[in-house]
Amino acid sequence: MLNAVLRKSFSKSACRRFASSTSLSSENHYDIIVAGGGMVGSTLACTLSKNPILSNRKILLLEASKEFNWKPTEKYSNRVVALNPNTRKLFEKIGFWKHIENVRYSPVCKIQAWDALSESMISFDSNNHVDEVAYIVENSLILYAANIENQSLHNLNIINDAKIKSCNLAIHEDEEIQVELENGASYTCELLLGCDGVNSKVREAMGVQYVGWNYKQMGLVATLNLSEDTEENRIAWQRYIPTGTIALLPLNTKQSSLVWCNTNENIKQLLKLSPEQFVDELNSALWKQYEKNDIVNQATKCLGSILKTLDAPANIMQQLPPSICSIEESSRAAFPLGFGHAANYIRKGVALVGDAAHRVHPLGGQGVNLGFGDICSLDEILGNAAYSGRKLNNLLDLRKYETARQRHNVPTMLALDGLQKLYTTDFTPVVLLRSLGLQLTHALTPVKRAIIEQASH
Ligand SMILES: Cc1cc2nc3c(=O)[nH]c(=O)nc-3n(C[C@H](O)[C@H](O)[C@H](O)COP(=O)(O)OP(=O)(O)OC[C@H]3O[C@@H](n4cnc5c(N)ncnc54)[C@H](O)[C@@H]3O)c2cc1C
């Protein structure tokens, strides 16, 4: 709110008053260096460059890969993300959304998740006080939109094929941060923002504690052709099976995108199958009737009756997911899944953003949304700092960013990790507890609203 007021009242004279104190004479010196130009780094660079209070700051974006030349084609990319409504707001503000809208995206009006080992399910839809719960967008399309917007920014310099070899962080007050590339080039800055993903060089240089583990699972993605043309393919489906989760994310009336999380061994086998065999396996995993435990069945039925008498939605009325007829050629690919969290996101003159700071299991579709949430917070805090005449590397300001984001990210990450663990067992007491929990959550509208709100920030 404060930032919005500041942005409106910010005048050109104020821009001059807070002109960068850095040595602009040195062409390799920048006020801000963004390390890593993935979805998070490219968006962060654009957001800060477009912040009117920071418009006189020199920003450099360093990305290891070659220039991004992707152009939209009729064929969908196999990598998509489910963006939350807050991410859409950010994209609208910085001009990405119009490019995405011009190409394509798929709004999700309902999410239905259900347990293969019991009758319990949960759904989130527009009745839970939001019009659309998520938007499915191709990763490449986000980068494409970022590319168009970033190219027009006078205060942003982008260097591709620029792999960071090392970062020398400032120890004393007046020292600059130095970033050295593998090709020998080097740059200095007042503020270094690490958006260089899970194996972040910036995080390594900070020497922060990092808690991480591998789920011994992979996420298999593919573009699926549905058996029937579904006029309203607006539902995201997620089935919890004993070996992991299967999610179908709508793309258009005939296609959905798959994220199948399963053990490393199973995924390796699934990748080896012919397309026809793979489709059979997938349909079987989506539709297979697992033997249900009597105790769990009785308990969920009993809870269902109690909820009915209380006039709460007693669920059980599941909608049926679509079945799959084929997959797009060569669209299968798999990615290792892990958890990771940096105990500190900041130190003087440095901050971690996106997967460099936190990595989650994709079962809740939250990973990159957390990164976009980091961007909103950092944009506001740095804007306020610059407006008040403070340096961008001010530790107290960066601390505000860390506190705000960890307060949001840590509970979300723990909830996702808990869900992952809860749903990869067929141990009856756990199945019983999670089924009753899911059923209760489904019935309690305020709880569902709270979950949607947490997932949207
Ligand atoms: C199967 C799967 C499905 C997912 N689905 C969803 C979803 O539905 N919703 C969601 O919110 N999230 C989802 N995620 C998570 C999401 O993909 C990640 O959170 C997101 O990609 C992280 O973006 P990032 O920019 O922080 O990191 P990255 O995408 O890892 O980008 C880091 C960038 O830094 C560059 N880089 C790395 N090292 C260097 C270096 N030394 N020098 C210079 N540049 C460097 C890299 O080239 C890269 O461009 C999913 C993840 C997986 C695996």
Mean pLDDT of 201-219: 95
**Mean model confidence pLDDT for the chain:** 86
The rounded Å distance from CA 337 to ligand 1 centre is 12
Reported as a single tens digit per residue, the pLDDT across 38-91 is 999 999 999 999 999 999 999 999 999 999 889 999 999 999 999 999 999 999
Residue closest by Cα to atom 47 of ligand 1: 64
Q: Which residue has the higher pLDDT, 18 or 415?
A: 415
Above pLDDT 90, what percent of the chain? Answer: 63
318 contacts: CB under 8 Å, gap ≥ 6: 112, 114, 121
Nearest CA residue ID for atom 12, ligand 1 = 367
In whole angstroms, how far apart are CA 85 and each of 31, 79, 137, 311?
A: 31, 19, 12, 30
Tokens, residue 383: 């804007």
Give yes or no for a contact between 248 and 111, defined as CB atoms under 8 angstroms apart.
no
Q: Is 354 in the pocket of ligand 1 (CB under 6 A)?
A: yes
Mean pLDDT for the stretch of residues 229-247:
86
Q: Is 63 near ligand 1, meaning CB less than 6 Å away?
A: yes
Q: Is 369 in the pocket of ligand 1 (CB under 6 A)?
A: yes
Higher-scoring residue by pLDDT: 453, 338: 338
Q: How far is the CA of 18 from the centre of ligand 1 (A)?
A: 34
**CB-ligand 1 contact for 335 (6 Å cutoff):** yes
Question: What is the per-residue pLDDT across 176-185, written as a single tens digit (0 to 9) for each?
Answer: 899 999 999 9
Q: Ligand 1, closest atom to CA 359?
A: 19
Average pLDDT of span 326-330: 95
Residue 23 has pLDDT above 50, yes or no: no
Tokens describing residue 57: 């700051």
CA 421 to centroid of ligand 1, rounded, Å:
23
pLDDT at 14 over 50: no
Residue nearest to atom 49 of ligand 1 (CA): 38
Higher pLDDT, 386 or 304: 386
Kindly state the tokens that stand for 11: 């005048």
* Whether residue 12 has pLDDT greater than 60: no
Q: Where are the domains of the chain?
A: 2-455
Alpha helix locations (H) across 291-444?
Answer: 294-309, 367-387, 395-422, 428-443
* 2-455 CATH choice from 3.50.50.60, 2.70.70.10, 1.20.810.10, 3.40.50.1220: 3.50.50.60
Question: CA 242, CA 424: separation in Å to the nearest integer?
Answer: 5
The answer to whether 140 and 93 are in contact (CB under 8 A) is no
What mean pLDDT comes out for the span 281-303? 76
**pLDDT tens-place string over residues 411-434:** 888 887 777 776 677 777 766 666
Quick: pLDDT tens for 345-375.
Answer: 999 999 999 999 999 999 878 899 999 999 9
404 burial class (0-12, 13-18, 19+ CB within 10 angstroms)?
middle
Q: Which residue bears the tokens 């009785």?
A: 298
Q: Which of 101-115, 331-345, 372-386 has the lowest mean pLDDT?
A: 101-115
Q: Is pLDDT above 50 for 377?
A: yes
Does any ligand 1 atom lie closer than 6 A to the CB of residue 379? Answer: no
Region 3-20 average pLDDT: 38
Residue 259 Cβ inside 6 Å of ligand 1? The answer reads: yes
Distances (CA, A) of 320 to 108, 113, 124, 286: 16, 11, 15, 10
Ligand 1 pocket residue status of 370, Cβ below 6 Å: no
Among protein residues, the one whose CA lies closest to atom 4 of ligand 1: 362
